[in-house]
Structure 1
């Protein structure tokens, strides 16, 4: 085959791979680096699913109205293991974000909890995580754990990204994490606490300067689950893969809303809720400070 013909065939092969979403490799495909992986904060009222860069994301949350009444939240979550592929992500946790959830409002935020993220960790184990993102700049900034300059770790025994082991059995013993995040009234920093089957201890903080849109502004609190997947990988399970109607779904319990003075108020009353795909992922009403959430996945 002549050189020009070979080049034409090679070019056509590369283009067809790109169009079909494949990866053409002479030696090996380039992998996404951890520093390139950022958390994503969905605008809960704006749209049913994020489809950024062929990544489909779904969220199931209870959430507060944006107000100046609450500046933190604490909750206990049972944690599970899932067998996920690179390109899939599943998490349960709590979020604090700026803005009112409208599609036109810039958003900044932090979230903490447990997740399974094979592309980030190169495994399918369950990890304690923290994350932050700011959409005020272009491109947006942010990262998980301590991959970039953001979260300040103060603990000698707990590090964001730590593996959680063991995890819960759906019909057996449960393992729990308790996470707490709130705004310090004096410094304005956002303190993060974490405990595995124990009371939460301080891990570190997000400096207030990291998230300027949240300085002296009302915030929104969210609790629940989030999943994402990149085509062609399938939609992953949320929680433990069971829907609340099954009677054995993952739970969020012992919910406490934290006011501007650092006082805890039990979250026994129902909050607003948002389910981007209730046919795939759903949640129950709050009863005695607890609700259930999750689902097996979607066809999209």
Structure 2
């Protein structure tokens, strides 16, 4: 597993996608890079015209199984205008056709369409980040899919990223932001016309981890590979979970959560727990586990 596979992730998932190979080939020809450069990690990054970004392919993981461990929040009739939280990042060991990550999901009430942002370590085929439908990049210093240079250490220093996804109240576009040096930096956005189901806001949010594996293979570790009972210095977490209130145009902490809000699809392999010790700033959820062959 190379460091290059541990990266910043952002994409929109749709229940149905219809495409054309001819259009895809034409699109690739029209998106020839203006400039190409290599990062210190050996990644090749192409710079293209802002108005010619990829908007056709989409990740469809055939013959793969998923496992989740997350906190679910429902809007209860008051649509969410966004979500934000800190996520610490690890490098879980992933083999061929395995994927493991920590994310924020924002979905409309029927869950057919959702926005996902976070980090992922993977050895899978498919399309993410700037190769996915519709995301418009505006920031010149952060490239989606780039390596995260400082992974957390079990029992040692924890390194975090603060992700924001927020709907513009005027255009209804959905913006991806990242906190840099205490300032909220706009990375890019998903145009409103791409997300008609989100026009009035989102109905559901999830915060936690996900793993994926090809059928017949072992599930990889999630997060740090430790169960959430191992505390903040050893487990993966999402902290200071907040939502954006459309009516007041302010960020707020969820008022309450219950054990019923925790979803774990395989207790033998993974776990998740909520810490409300700092609930005035937003709930925290710790999650993760070793994976293995008992994930049913």
Name 1:59's counterpart in structure 2. Answer: 68
Asked if 1:258 corresponds to 2:267, the answer is: no
2:124 is paired with a residue whose SS is helix
Q: In the TM superposition, what are the counterparts of 1:36-185 in structure 2 within 5 Å? A: 38=59, 53-66=62-75, 67-101=77-111, 107-120=112-125, 143-185=127-169
For the structure 1 residues 205 and 91, does the alpha-carbon distance in structure 2 shift closer, same or farther, using more than 3 Å as the test?
same
For the structure 1 residues 222 and 199, does the alpha-carbon distance in structure 2 shift closer, same or farther, using more than 3 Å as the test?
farther
Judge conservation of contact 2:57–2:131 (CA < 8 Å) in 1: no
Judge conservation of contact 2:70–2:285 (CA < 8 Å) in 1: no
Pick from 244, 256, 275: which aligns with 1:269? Answer: 256
Using the TM superposition, give the Cα deviation of residue 268 of structure 1 relative to its aligned residue in structure 2, in angstroms: 6.2
Distance in 2 (CA, whole Å) between partners of 1:240 and 1:222 is 19
Q: In the TM superposition, what are the counterparts of 1:236-247 in structure 2 within 5 Å? A: 236-247=220-231
For the structure 1 residues 199 and 228, does the alpha-carbon distance in structure 2 shift closer, same or farther, using more than 3 Å as the test?
farther
Task: Output one character per residue of 1:6-41: Cα deviation in whole Å (capped at 9) or x when no partner.
Answer: xxxxxxxxxxxxxxxxxxxxxxxxxxxxx866167x
Unaligned 5+ segments in structure 2 are 1-55
Distance in 1 (CA, whole Å) between partners of 2:121 and 2:164 is 20
Name 1:228's counterpart in structure 2. Answer: 212
Q: In the TM superposition, what are the counterparts of 1:15-54 in structure 2 within 5 Å? A: 38=59, 53-54=62-63
- Higher mean C-alpha deviation, range 196-205 or range 286-295: 196-205
Judge conservation of contact 1:184–1:262 (CA < 8 Å) in 2: no
Distance in 1 (CA, whole Å) between partners of 2:183 and 2:158 is 16
Using the TM superposition, give the Cα deviation of residue 149 of structure 1 relative to its aligned residue in structure 2, in angstroms: 3.9
Using the TM superposition, give the Cα deviation of residue 264 of structure 1 relative to its aligned residue in structure 2, in angstroms: 0.6
For the structure 1 residues 163 and 189, does the alpha-carbon distance in structure 2 shift closer, same or farther, using more than 3 Å as the test?
same
Task: Output one character per residue of 1:103-133: Cα deviation in whole Å (capped at 9) or x when no partner.
Answer: xxxx011110111122359xxxxxxxxxxxx
Judge conservation of contact 1:93–1:223 (CA < 8 Å) in 2: yes
TM-score (normalised: structure 1): 0.70
- Higher mean C-alpha deviation, range 107-116 or range 266-275: 266-275
Task: Output one character per residue of 1:206-243: Cα deviation in whole Å (capped at 9) or x when no partner.
Answer: 11111222222542111111111003331011111000
Which structure dedicates a bigger proportion of its chain to strand? 2
For the structure 1 residues 279 and 176, does the alpha-carbon distance in structure 2 shift closer, same or farther, using more than 3 Å as the test?
same
Task: Supply the RMSD in Å over aligned alpha carbons.
Answer: 2.3
Judge conservation of contact 1:39–1:144 (CA < 8 Å) in 2: no
2:229 is paired with a residue whose SS is helix
Distance in 2 (CA, whole Å) between partners of 1:109 and 1:298 is 28
Judge conservation of contact 2:80–2:201 (CA < 8 Å) in 1: no
For the structure 1 residues 181 and 238, does the alpha-carbon distance in structure 2 shift closer, same or farther, using more than 3 Å as the test?
same
TM-score (normalised: structure 2): 0.71
Q: Which of structures 1 and 2 has the bigger CA Rg?
A: 1
Distance in 1 (CA, whole Å) between partners of 2:239 and 2:181 is 13
